[in-house]
């Protein structure tokens, strides 16, 4: 069984096209069932995320799968195959395996190294497996893809560094406080980026979230959305004593927090570390307070700079991941091919063994009076002849089975040695 994949992604299709062909979770199994209905197609898997729609199929002969699959996908989006064609990519055999491994390892993702794709792939596979449209070929390939993705994540730094401003803020907070379960976050203002950063920190399991705003209504509404406690901005000095992580995101002109105001706060905090994320432009916090002991302040440029560095870092790590994925894909294809060759090899050995036994029995029957030592010599001669004749053939079959025309070689071997002849 060979693998075939046809799909479109953020690399080949704009969002208008991708959204048109997106497949909801409910529609995955029916579509996969339709794929299985294509002549010669035994197994199917449909993967649909916001950045890609892909149909994987396993078949004895994948050469004719491209057009019916493209027609199926075009039909799904209510477009003609000709409209869809420029946005499609297709891979067969080893290239399809390599593509699957790359997708699972997040090398094909828009943000390289993002972890969501693996979960999405697992969910799609589970739906198709439960629907009974996957078989041993796809299951083996997908399981190996999961293992490869795990190896890539643990052996390269592809997913180690955060690449969004909010996740950089969470990462920095962890470098200061470690376990965020003991940290309280204070969000000052109602800017969008501030809200996003607070949401990320909340998601990282902080102890509590305080939301301060000049407008009590806005504070209440925002606190409700984020699951925090609304507070008045007039309480800022007290709130700074309570909070460990402060996000400022107000439209105020002038500094809300400066050296003079923070010094008594630090004393009241008993000099516990404080991490201030100033996302506002113009800035809400005097950058000079970074000189105070146990105070760490990052503005939006600092966060963006780190995110940019991390992204470049991921790209560098992706090179190592590419090599790892290529090696794994080649190994997997070889394993599968050698498994395909096994029945032929076994049949050939059995055939040779049967012939040897038959001819030995005839020869020994003609050589009456042969003592045991000479009988043994004849048997060894037959054994060696068979082994020497088979050695080169079997080596070539094992090697050739992994080549693109491996099927033809196996068929020729079976024909030459009459391995499928029932009279043998």
Smallest separation, CB 283 to other proteins (Å): 15
**Is 157 an interacting residue with respect to other proteins (CB under 8 A)?**
yes
Residues 6+ apart with CB under 8 A from 14: none
Choose the catalytic residue: 36, 41, 50, 128: 50
Q: Which of residues 376-405 bind other proteins (CB under 8 A)?
A: none
Q: Which stretch binds other proteins (CB under 8 A): 78-86, 99-107, 120-128, 151-159?
A: 151-159
Residue closest to 116 by CA, chosen among 101, 131, 103, 125: 103
237 sits near other proteins (criterion: CB under 8 A): no
Dihedral in degrees, nearest 10, Cα atoms 330, 332, 335, 337: -70
Distance of alpha carbon 255 from the chain centroid: 44
Q: Which stretch binds other proteins (CB under 8 A): 130-138, 198-206, 265-273, 368-376?
A: 265-273
Nearer to other proteins, 7 or 162 (CB): 162
Candidate ranges 4-12, 135-143, 211-219, 267-275; the one touching other proteins (CB under 8 A): 267-275
CB-nearer residue toward other proteins: 227 or 271: 271
Residues in the chain: 424
Pick from 64, 233, 296, 409: which binds other proteins (CB under 8 A)? Answer: 296
Would residue 36 show up in a list of annotated catalytic residues for this protein?
Answer: no
294 binds other proteins (CB under 8 A): yes
Could you identify the residue written with the tokens 């037959």?
382
Site string for other proteins, 163-202 (x = CB under 8 A): --------xx-xxxxxx-----------------------
Smallest gap, in angstroms, from Cβ of residue 202 to other proteins?
19
Give me the least distance between CB of 172 and other proteins, in Å please.
7
Among residues 293, 368, 371, 392, which is the contact residue for other proteins, using CB under 8 A?
293
CB atoms within 10 A of CB 192: 9
Q: Is the four-CA dihedral 82, 88, 94, 97 of positive or negative sign?
A: negative
Q: Does 279 bind other proteins (CB under 8 A)?
A: no
- The residue among 63 and 272 lying less far from other proteins, judged by its C-beta, is 272
Minimum CB distance to other proteins smaller for 89 or for 296:
296
Under rule CB under 8 A, which residues in 12-51 are in contact with other proteins?
Answer: none
Burial group, residue 122, by CB count within 10 angstroms (0-12, 13-18, 19+) = middle
Q: Does 327 bind other proteins (CB under 8 A)?
A: no
Binding residues vs other proteins (CB under 8 A): 154-155, 157, 160-161, 171-172, 174-179, 270-273, 290, 293-294, 296, 298, 302, 305-306, 309-310, 313
Catalytic residues: 50
């Amino acid at each position: 069984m060979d693998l075939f994949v046809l799909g479109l992604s953020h690399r080949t299709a704009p969002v208008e096209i991708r959204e048109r062909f997106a497949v909801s979770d409910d529609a995955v199994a029916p579509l996969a069932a339709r794929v299985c209905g294509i002549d010669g197609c035994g197994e199917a898997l449909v993967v649909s995320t916001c950045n890609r729609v892909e149909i994987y199929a396993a078949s004895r002969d994948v050469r004719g799968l491209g057009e019916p699959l493209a027609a199926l996908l075009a039909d799904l989006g209510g477009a003609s195959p000709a409209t869809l064609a420029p946005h499609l990519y297709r891979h067969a055999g080893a290239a399809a395996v390599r593509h699957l491994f790359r997708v699972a390892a997040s090398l094909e993702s828009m943000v390289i190294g993002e972890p969501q794709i693996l979960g999405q792939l697992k969910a799609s596979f589970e739906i198709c497996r439960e629907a009974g449209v996957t078989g041993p070929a796809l299951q083996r390939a997908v399981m190996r893809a999961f293992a490869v993705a795990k190896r890539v994540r643990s052996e390269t730094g592809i997913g180690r560094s955060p690449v969004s401003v909010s996740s950089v803020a969470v990462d920095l907070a962890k470098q200061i406080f470690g376990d965020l379960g003991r940290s309280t976050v204070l969000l000052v203002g109602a800017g969008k980026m501030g809200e996003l950063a607070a949401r990320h920190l909340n998601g990282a399991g902080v102890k509590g979230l305080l939301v301060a705003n000049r407008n009590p209504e806005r504070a209440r509404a925002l606190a409700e959305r984020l699951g925090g406690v609304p507070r008045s901005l007039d309480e800022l000095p007290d709130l700074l004593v309570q909070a460990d992580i402060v996000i400022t995101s107000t439209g105020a002109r002038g500094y809300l927090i400066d050296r003079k105001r923070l010094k008594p706060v630090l004393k009241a905090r008993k000099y516990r570390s404080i991490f201030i994320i100033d996302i506002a432009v113009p800035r809400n916090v005097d950058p000079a307070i970074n000189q105070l002991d146990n105070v760490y302040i990052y503005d939006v440029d600092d966060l963006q700079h780190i995110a940019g560095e991390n992204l470049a870092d991921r790209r560098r790590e992706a090179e190592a991941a590419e090599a790892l994925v290529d090696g794994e894909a080649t190994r997997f294809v070889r394993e599968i091919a050698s498994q395909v060759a096994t029945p032929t090899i076994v049949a050939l050995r059995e055939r040779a063994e049967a012939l040897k036994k038959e001819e030995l029995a005839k020869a020994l029957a003609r050589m009456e009076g042969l003592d045991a030592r000479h009988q043994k010599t004849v048997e060894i001669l037959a054994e060696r002849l068979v082994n020497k004749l088979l050695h080169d053939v079997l080596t070539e079959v094992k090697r050739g089975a992994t080549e693109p025309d491996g099927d033809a070689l196996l068929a020729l071997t079976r024909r030459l040695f009459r391995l499928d002849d029932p009279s043998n």
